[in-house]
Structure 1
Amino acid sequence: MAPTEQAGGQSCRFAFAMITTLFFMWGFVHNLDPILIPHLRKAFSLTVLQSALVDSAVFIAYFVMALPAGLLIRKAGYKNAMLCGLGLFAFGALLFVPAAQTQRYAFFLGALFIIACGLTVLETAANPYITLLGPAEKATQRLNLAQSFNGLAATLAPIVGARVILAGGSSEEQLQAMSDSARQAALAAEAASVKAPYICIALVIMAIALVFYFLKLPAAGAGAGERAQGAPGNGAILRALQRPSIRRAVLAQFFYVGAQVCVFSFFILYAVKSAGITQVQAADYLGWGCGAAFVVGRFAGTWLMRFFTPARLLLAYALASMALSVVAMVSGGLASLGAVIGIAFFMSIMFPTIFSLGIRNAGADTEMGSSLIIMAIVGGAVLPLLFGFISDATQNLQYGYAAPLLCFMVIAWFARAELKEARAAATITSTGSVEACLN
């Protein structure tokens, strides 16, 4: 190997490592949301449906910002887009300080919305960049590997967040027994407990942004520059939507993110009701159980893709998740927790696999296809409301798992459609090869 090739390989590896830190950081802040939901629900006396607005504020930002993020990548490039995303991320985290000072639920939702705007830009840039940073045939494995560190964050965030935000607070029974003035002071202390962790997050993000500012990112695969010069705007959107894989991936990603948010965000409320444990114990199950299962599932899925096509593995995982959703609806105690932890394992490969299958061979439509698939993350704003509505209407949180069950059915349909298309393409290719030999 020539020295220049060695340097290029080292540059790609360092770029991959740095972008993987972004996957970890947005995974960490997303997985603080399940801690914020019970915390803010208690601090503001919210219903399950009202507390789901935490997820709505976050995931509506993906709908609003995804297309502007794609256009930003085309105009300014991957690196500048990532720097913009990091800036919004840090600014939104710092807004938790005035939100805690004012003790207004709407202010918290606004801060979460701005954080999510930054995450939208980061995800729209980082996901396709990872798939393009190396051989095309290994794009799905590469994205699953990077997303595995997102899963690692899903393990650590609830454990850390529970001890920083939930531990030491007053229970709902204790709050009800207090006088009005004492209750107000206790709720003010509850609101203030979120300031320190989000200030730390903002400082870390600013440090990462500084590294990215001086980092020279390698070119992301052949033809990346030509793709960036493609026509922006409505024409690019319509052209991307003409691709069946992109259309299916947008729909599947909408339902997948909805399922993931339902499972993770309501886990603490679910575990307290179904297994009769405390919130801190539930957070430990969320971290060491769901989070660990999620990250192990990502690494295991990356390895299994050596032997099974991504679409086939996705179909098997979707069917398993459907079965476990039914168990989560009807079981209790540790069995119910085991079912949800199992869902977390089988959900692990879904986001990166849907994403990479959707933009596979998209050519000039890669960036806009990426934006549309990221835009579909708005499912995380919609499906939790369905989960909350079902739970409130039936007065049984477990029945809310009908929402994830629906989501996994759609993902199974997507995987089956991709398998059929792959078989049809293989048949056409083999037929063409035979005809070429005969001629």
Structure 2
Amino acid sequence: MSEQKSYRSSFILLTTLFFLWGFITVLVDSLVPRLREVFELSYGMIGFLQSAFFVAYFVFSLPAGWLISKVGYKRGIVIGLLTMSAGCLLFYPASSERIFAVFLLAFFTLAGGITILQVAANPYVAVLGPEEKASSRLNLSQAFNSLGATIAPIVGAAYLLSDKILTSVEIGNLSVADKDAYYLQEAGAVQAPFLIFAAVIFLLAVTFSFIKLPQILKDSAANGSYFQALKRKQVWMGALGIFFYVGAEVAIGSVLVNYFLDLNVNEIINNSPFLKSIATGLIELFGGSTENLDAKGLVGAFVMFYWLGAMVGRFIGSYLTKIFKPSRILMIFGLIAISLIVVSITSTGLLAMWSILAVGLFNSIMFPTIFTLTLDGQGDLKPRISGLLCMAIVGGGVILPIFGNLVDWKGFTAGLLFLTVCYGYIAYFAFSKKNI
């Protein structure tokens, strides 16, 4: 009984970390439309901007696995939190000086901290109880990850997207005094939120340094190599599934604001008192101003429903994967995601908007289910495999530039059709599992 209580307490504490990195990851997405206007970036360049965030998963995952094997899971979590805090602080000089390279460094550092947390927390939650319930546990933790992701777009719409960004021509027409005032206002819009996040994350690091977590994982240094893990078909197929899932989910989440503007959804919302009240109500709920609300802030509020779907789906998925084979649920969700994308690109207006937002609901179980299906039956190689699976999150940095350049070249239809291939592989991975 005392062991179960210890597991429950540890599960709750670790779930706060899932919430944290879900919130921060999507908040960074909310910053993308602002940076696109500030630096006048193409969609292809936006893909490379996001790559700085996701390439960190590739760079940090294996070192994070090695680090955790040396210092332990708790200290690894603390180091991850401190790295995230440092990444948040870097947004201060980046926004003050309006230097694109420093924004890239801030994205990279922040993602490095999140990577360390992921490598530690995902396998820890998976083994924090009976193996047959691992998928259900990880779906539940990931539901709180999605809760953070759901709140983040509203915070972003309220504080990062609500005001109009001037073009380089408009800035050139300002007086020196007005230009300095504008730059100060621009910097403040980014600095204040990220300084608060840096402080909160630092306090979490201090808190975790004093918490005792149960020792339930063996020393991963003695449990095989990454090469041994990759020789197993289940492992590299699962890693490829994570690669495509993250790429597709983030590609959609990163362009929703611009996709909705391309569909002229902002005009539909403005002309609908009901829809406009939803957008303004959500922004005001988080303390944002709706006076002279910019179009991207108006449609940005609806991005919340993409991540809300992921949260609701994970709570539902936690139950479904208890009573049905997780691989079967994963295959069905992958096929539905493809169908919704096709509906969106073959329709207009609100139908196109709500169908692409609904993809979030069916993204919900993909990460935790692919993760646990890949870890299933892998024994002491689990910590190594976790590092490889987290490394595959680099898919966000590879898929995004391809997607972005397709959008620049042929429009959103071509880009979104490309993402159906990603979901097709996920459905195939689920089908290929023997326990389907």
TM-score by length of 1: 0.89
- How far apart, in 2, do the equivalents of 1:393 and 1:183 lie? 34
Q: Provide closer, same or farther for how the CA distance between residues 174 and 160 of structure 1 changes in structure 2, counting only shifts above 3 A.
A: farther
Aligned AA for 1:50? M
Q: Is 1:252 aligned to residue 234 of structure 2?
A: no
* Residue in structure 1 matching 2:429, options 414, 435, 439: 414
Q: CA deviation at 1:279?
A: 0.9
Total equivalences in the alignment = 407
CA contact (8 A) 1:170 1:186 kept: no
- How far apart, in 2, do the equivalents of 1:229 and 1:92 lie? 28
- How far apart, in 1, do the equivalents of 2:184 and 2:409 lie? 31
Q: CA deviation at 1:180?
A: 6.9
Alignment deviations for residues 353-387 of structure 1 (CA, whole Å, 9 cap, x no partner): 11111111111210110000100000000111111
Q: Identity rate of aligned residues, in percent?
A: 38
- How far apart, in 2, do the equivalents of 1:280 and 1:229 lie? 48
Q: Is 1:273 aligned to residue 262 of structure 2?
A: yes
Runs (4 or more) in structure 1 with deviation over 6 Å come to none
Alignment deviations for residues 92-116 of structure 1 (CA, whole Å, 9 cap, x no partner): 1111111112210110110110010
Aligned AA for 2:390? I
Q: Which moved more, 1:316-325 or 1:275-284?
A: 275-284
* Residue in structure 2 matching 1:52, options 47, 51, 61: 47
- How far apart, in 2, do the equivalents of 1:346 and 1:157 lie? 19
- For the aligned residues, what is the CA RMSD? 1.8
Q: Is 1:39 aligned to residue 34 of structure 2?
A: yes
Aligned AA for 1:18? L
Partner of 1:286: 303
CA contact (8 A) 1:152 1:295 kept: yes
Alignment deviations for residues 320-352 of structure 1 (CA, whole Å, 9 cap, x no partner): 001111122222110111111111100010011
Aligned AA for 1:406? V
CA contact (8 A) 2:88 2:195 kept: yes
Q: CA deviation at 1:80?
A: 1.1
Q: CA deviation at 1:388?
A: 0.8
* Residue in structure 1 matching 2:229, options 240, 246, 268: 240
Q: Which moved more, 1:181-190 or 1:328-337?
A: 181-190
- How far apart, in 1, do the equivalents of 2:109 and 2:165 lie? 29
- How far apart, in 2, do the equivalents of 1:409 and 1:290 lie? 20
CA contact (8 A) 1:59 1:377 kept: yes
- How far apart, in 2, do the equivalents of 1:405 and 1:184 lie? 46
Q: Is 1:218 aligned to residue 218 of structure 2?
A: no
Alignment deviations for residues 139-174 of structure 1 (CA, whole Å, 9 cap, x no partner): 000000000011111110010111111113346599
Q: Provide closer, same or farther for how the CA distance between residues 384 and 180 of structure 1 changes in structure 2, counting only shifts above 3 A.
A: farther
Alignment deviations for residues 281-324 of structure 1 (CA, whole Å, 9 cap, x no partner): 2211101x112111111111111123211100000000000111
CA contact (8 A) 1:33 1:54 kept: no
TM-score by length of 2: 0.89
CA contact (8 A) 1:62 1:117 kept: yes
- How far apart, in 2, do the equivalents of 1:312 and 1:202 lie? 41
- How far apart, in 2, do the equivalents of 1:29 and 1:251 lie? 24
1:116-127 matched pairs, under 5 angstroms = 116-127=111-122
Q: Provide closer, same or farther for how the CA distance between residues 173 and 399 of structure 1 changes in structure 2, counting only shifts above 3 A.
A: farther
1:21-32 matched pairs, under 5 angstroms = 21-32=16-27
Q: Is 1:88 aligned to residue 83 of structure 2?
A: yes
- How far apart, in 2, do the equivalents of 1:397 and 1:191 lie? 31
Structure 1 residue runs of 5 or longer lacking an equivalent are 424-439
Q: CA deviation at 1:9?
A: 2.4
Partner of 2:395: 379
- How far apart, in 2, do the equivalents of 1:61 and 1:178 lie? 39
Q: Which moved more, 1:168-177 or 1:117-126?
A: 168-177
Q: Provide closer, same or farther for how the CA distance between residues 103 and 171 of structure 1 changes in structure 2, counting only shifts above 3 A.
A: closer
Alignment deviations for residues 221-250 of structure 1 (CA, whole Å, 9 cap, x no partner): xxx22x52415xxx6011111222111111
1:22-421 matched pairs, under 5 angstroms = 22-170=17-165, 175=170, 178-179=173-174, 181=176, 182=178, 185-220=181-216, 224-225=217-218, 227-230=219-222, 236-277=225-266, 278-287=295-304, 289-394=305-410, 396-418=411-433, 421=434
Structure 2 residue runs of 5 or longer lacking an equivalent are 267-294
